[in-house]
Structure 1
Amino acid sequence: MGTSTAYGGPGGDTPLVPSWLGDPPASPPANPDGAPDGTPPPDAANPPSPPEKPPIPKVADPQRFSGARNNLTRFAGSGGSDRTNLGRAISRYVSTSSGGARQAAQRMGASRSAGARLLGFLTDANARGMREALREFNLDSMAGRPVSEVFIALADHICPGAGTVDEGIAREAYIETIIDLANEGLANLTAFTPEQMDTVFELYATHAIEARICNDIGTKVVTMPSDAQAAHRVEKQLRDFIRGGVSDALARARENSPNLSHDRIQSFVDSVYESAFAILQSLGEVEADQ
């Protein structure tokens, strides 16, 4: 929360899934006559109909963030003791602010892509060794260096660009993950076990979801306690809550895909994010009812 990207949060009329998260269709190549391949030259007497404009995303409920924001503010004001409002904030963020787990996962566009690149590298390092995995990025000279240094060298490959809020969230989550490596006992590895791979990805997805939530309903709205220990407690409670959901989602996904091939990594990551949001909504509802 204290390290989330500086951003005033989306307006209430922002579409649930921003249009810029989709990839624009590629234009077909032109033939020598200037018309797209396979298309006859235009008939002057019967000009072609203008192309249909893409549908404008529906304007979402302008108040959809208010419930989650109010609950998160109460949780922060309690210094981390009000678990009921923490649960309400998270469950309402997923169900109402985002429009459900699938929509919430779709809002993590850059973080899902970066997560897939990170998991792809970890999978390669586990299968072929760190040096060979780094050779793909012309970084084989980094083999044998502390993992934190290796990950810093990989930053532009894992999280290219930071021009949008979405890209900034992805890069911030990656940096936070690097900081956490020492605390997880992963600072000086020459290879990754499957369990260690999952720990790194779990850390990344946790930080990405936390940053997304804080940017949407926390920044410039939630007032953190002035007491440093209380503020730390609020951050830790929120992060631990999110990590619990991510951990459960990752464990379920691994049960279905214990051996992950490179062509399935993106769909695996997408499923983890969607499952994590669904679990967080359920966990939040349980907390809210206590």
Structure 2
Amino acid sequence: MGTSASSRGPGSGPDVPIVPPWVDNPPATPRPQQPPQVSPGPAPSPGSQPTSPGQPQPQPSQHQPLQVPLQLPAIPSTPGRWRGVRTSLGKFAGGGADRARHLRRGLSHYSRSGMGGSRNAARRMGGSASAASSLHDALTSLASGQPLPPELGIDPLALAGLTPADIADVLVDAIKPIDGTQDAEATRDSAARALSDILTQNNDLTNLSPAQVDQVTAATLGYDVAHRIELDVGRSIIDKAPTKGEGLERLQEMKDYVREVVAAQYAAERAANGAIGRAVIDRISRDAIQQAFEVFEEEGGL
């Protein structure tokens, strides 16, 4: 992004929330549950329908998925939330044998104090998870020949004759329309980069394998988390490096590391969930982001 390196990042204090009220709230879709255990029940009442032995009884309504998203309050920040982050990342930018340790400590500070913990970080990045799962849904539909999700507003016939790059642009516009916000621009750039990565391998966006669709999804998440960190505290690296060129190298080193961690966590979450679908991938994406920030906290040694 053209504005990332020049961004001074957000301030701190109660008037600058960690998680603004306009951030997407996590969907209320429950996690998969084990099938209910069948146990002998009371004898059926007169007039009721008999059931065969071993047939599960109807489950109460509380087991049905919730349809209304959770409405969570904004999370206020505290003064000095970026102090530890900027100090550690400044030392990382300065180079030296300990720069890897300073990077890990900086990211740990970012998650713990800057974001108020991995759960808040995942909630702050909820829009990234939503966009990534939407892209996963679209690419899966194209590969299987199924109708595209109607909410994307894409006419499959309109894709015929387009170049791969044009198809990528259509997908980016559909999953994250331009709205003038920094978050939207970051997510659009992240999705575009992920699609560009898969195109450089001479792949057809309308016929990707499930593994390739997951690759795009994980890359979208990784680019977006790295963008968020860069926008918030990336300037600390640029300003503290001996030269601007070295600062840009250190910044890229940080972003590459973040993307690797996010990709690893997405792969782990994906492997633990065999089913696919928009709701499942959305949950996997959110969990992968939270797990990545937990890794940052643990590796920082704070």
TM-score range, shorter chain: 0.7 to 0.9
**Over residues 70-128 of structure 1, what are the superposed CA-to-partner deviations in whole Å (9 max), with x where a residue is unaligned?**
21122223289711111111111011111111100111132222112111112223333
Task: Sort the Cα spacing of 1:174 and 1:81 in 2 relative to 1 into closer, same or farther, 3 A.
Answer: farther
Aligned amino acid, residue 115 of structure 2: S
Aligned amino acid, residue 296 of structure 2: L
Distance in 2 between residues matched to 1:74 and 1:2, nearest whole Å: 25
Structure 2 match to 1:253: 269
Give the secondary-structure state (helix, strand or coil) at the position aligned to 1:181: helix
Aligned amino acid, residue 285 of structure 2: V
Aligned amino acid, residue 257 of structure 1: N
Give the secondary-structure state (helix, strand or coil) at the position aligned to 2:229: helix
Conserved? CA contact 2:129–2:285, under 8 Å: yes
TM norm structure 1: 0.74
Structure 2 match to 1:114: 131
Q: In the TM superposition, what is the alpha-carbon distance from 1:15 to its structure 2 partner?
A: 1.9
Distance in 1 between residues matched to 2:218 and 2:139, nearest whole Å: 12
Conserved? CA contact 2:12–2:79, under 8 Å: yes
Aligned amino acid, residue 246 of structure 1: V
Aligned length: 252
In structure 2, runs of 5+ residues without a counterpart are: 26-70
* Aligned mate of 1:180, from 197, 203, 216: 197
Structure 2 match to 1:29: none
* Aligned mate of 2:229, from 213, 216, 220: 213
Aligned ranges 1:58-137 → 2 under 5 Å: 59-78=76-95, 82-128=99-145, 132-133=147-148, 137=154
Identity of aligned residues (%): 27
Which is further off, 152-161 or 132-141? Answer: 132-141
TM norm structure 2: 0.71
Distance in 2 between residues matched to 1:227 and 1:93, nearest whole Å: 23
In structure 1, runs of 5+ residues without a counterpart are: 24-53
**Are 2:164 and 1:147 aligned?**
yes
Structure 2 match to 1:21: 23
Which is further off, 202-211 or 107-116? Answer: 107-116
Aligned amino acid, residue 163 of structure 1: G
Distance in 1 between residues matched to 2:140 and 2:296, nearest whole Å: 26
Task: Sort the Cα spacing of 1:186 and 1:277 in 2 relative to 1 into closer, same or farther, 3 A.
Answer: farther
Q: In the TM superposition, what is the alpha-carbon distance from 1:145 to its structure 2 partner?
A: 4.6
Q: In the TM superposition, what is the alpha-carbon distance from 1:263 to its structure 2 partner?
A: 3.6
